[in-house]
Copies of this chain bind each other. A is one copy, B any other.
Amino acid sequence: MPVDEFSLIETFFRRPATPAAGVLTGIGDDCALLDGGAAGTLAVTTDTLVADIHFPARASAFDIGQRALRVNLSDLAAMGAEPRWFLLALTLPEADENWLRAFSAGLFAVADAQGCALVGGDTTRGPLSVTITAMGAVPANVALRRSGAGAGDLVFVTGELGGAAAALADMTETGACRTADATLNTRYWYPEPRLREGVALRGIASAAIDISDGLIADLGHVARASGVGAELELEKLPLCGAAVARFGSDRTRDWALGGGDDYELCFTVPPSRLAALEAAVRAGHLRALPIGRLVPGTGVSARDGAGQNVALTGTGYRHF
C-alpha cells in the first residue's frame, strides 16, 4: 500500500522505549522479536488485508487465502526467521461454505508448503477482512533488522520489481480480479515470501526489509532506522520484464519505486561481507541484484545512467 496518513497512526502507539521484559525489538520493524528462551528468538508479525482496500472483494477465495498468508510470511522472511505457527482472524459478511472451503484450501496450500501450522483464530461476522498473526523462529542475535546498516554498505534486492503494482493497476483499470498476463498475475496474487533468502542472509546482511510499500518507502525505512541515507542507481533497477513489455519501462520503473506489493527483500551488505554474499549467491541460496548504496545523510535519492541526480516523489520519480 502507498504510504499515507495511516503510517502516522503508529505515532499513537509508539511510546518512549520502556524496556518491557523479553522484548528485543518492539514496534517499528517487520516483526517484533521476543525472547523465546532456549527456543531462540521469536519473530511475530500481524497484518490485516481489508476487502476492496488491499484486494478485490470479488476475487477468488483461494487466491485471497493463500495471498494473505504469503504476505505475512514475507515479514518473517525480512527478519531471517523460519515460519512456525500462525493465527487467523477472519471477518466475513456471511458464512458461505463454498467460499470458506476455497479460502481454507488456499491458506493451507501455503501453510503446508512452508511448514507453518495454524494454531488458533477467531471468526466474526462483519465486512470481509483477513488478519493473520505469524510467528517464526530465528537464532538469537542473527535476526535481520531494519537498523544496523552503515554508510558504504551496498543495497540489493532479491528479484525484479514493479510486476505486482502493474497487475494491480491493470485490475483497477479493467475492474477484473485477475490480469490477463500470467506472469503479472502471479506477481500480485502469488508473491513468493523470500524465506530461504532471509535465512541465507543471516550473518551477511546488515539490514533487511520486505518491499510491501514500494522501494522508496521501504528502503527509506531502512535508511531512517539505520541513521543513514540511500542512493539508488535508477538504470540498475531490475524491472519486471512482463510489466515492461506491456506498459513500458517508464511506468514500470514508477511501480518499482512506489508501487509496492512485490514482497522481494531489500537488504544491505557491508563491503567486508560481499565475498560471503557472493558465495551464498553461487550456492544458489538467493539472487542479489545490486541497486545502490548507503551514504552519510538522510533520505533516499537516485541517480540516472549519466550520474545525474533525479528527483524522487513519494510514488516514483519526477519525469523531466
* CB–CB B46/A85 < 8 A: no
Pick from A22, A120, A133 the residue with the most CB of B within 10 Å.
A120
* CB–CB B125/A6 < 8 A: yes
Which one of B15, B37, B42, B51 lies within 8 Å of A108 (CB-CB)? Answer: B15
Which of A27-35, A143-151, A262-270 participates in binding chain B?
Answer: A27-35
Contacts of A46 in B (CB 8 A): 87-89, 120-122, 131, 133
* CB–CB A27/B100 < 8 A: no
Which of A90-98, A253-261, A294-302, A307-315 participates in binding chain B?
Answer: A90-98
**Residues of chain A in range 11-32 having any CB-CB distance to chain B below 8 Å:** 12-13, 15, 18, 20-23, 26-27, 31-32
Measured between alpha carbons, how far is A84 from B42 in the docked complex, in Å?
13
Query: Number of copies of this chain in the oligomer?
Result: 2
Which one of B10, B36, B117, B126 lies within 8 Å of A123 (CB-CB)? Answer: B10
Q: Is A207 an interface residue (CB 8 A)?
A: no
* CB–CB A44/B123 < 8 A: no
Closest chain B residue to A123, Cβ basis: B9
* CB–CB B48/A122 < 8 A: yes
Q: How far is the CB of A195 from chain B (nearest CB, A)?
A: 16
Q: How far is the CB of A212 from chain B (nearest CB, A)?
A: 11
Q: How far is the CB of A233 from chain B (nearest CB, A)?
A: 32
* CB–CB A50/B95 < 8 A: no
Q: Is A63 an interface residue (CB 8 A)?
A: no
Measured between alpha carbons, how far is A53 from B126 in the docked complex, in Å?
7
* CB–CB A37/B34 < 8 A: no
Contacts of A45 in B (CB 8 A): 87, 120
Q: Is A273 an interface residue (CB 8 A)?
A: no
Contacts of A91 in B (CB 8 A): 48, 50, 129
Q: Is A196 an interface residue (CB 8 A)?
A: no
Q: Is A246 an interface residue (CB 8 A)?
A: no
Q: Is A5 an interface residue (CB 8 A)?
A: yes
Measured between alpha carbons, how far is A21 from B135 in the docked complex, in Å?
13
* CB–CB A22/B39 < 8 A: yes
Contacts of A131 in B (CB 8 A): 46, 48, 89, 122, 131
* CB–CB B126/A26 < 8 A: no
Contacts of A35 in B (CB 8 A): 39
* CB–CB B12/A44 < 8 A: no
Which one of B13, B31, B108 lies within 8 Å of A118 (CB-CB)? Answer: B13
Known pairs A44-B133, A54-B124; list 5 more (Cβ under 8 Å): A32-B87, A37-B38, A47-B89, A48-B91, A122-B131
**Which residues of A approach B to under 8 Å, CB–CB?**
1, 4-10, 12-13, 15, 18, 20-23, 26-27, 31-32, 34-40, 42, 44-51, 53-54, 84-85, 87-92, 95, 100-101, 103-104, 107-108, 115, 117-127, 129, 131, 133, 135
Offer 23 A-B interface pairs, CB within 8 angstroms, sorted by A: A5-B95, A6-B125, A12-B100, A13-B104, A15-B108, A21-B115, A22-B84, A23-B117, A27-B118, A27-B121, A37-B38, A37-B40, A39-B39, A46-B87, A48-B89, A48-B91, A48-B124, A48-B126, A50-B125, A53-B126, A89-B133, A91-B129, A133-B133
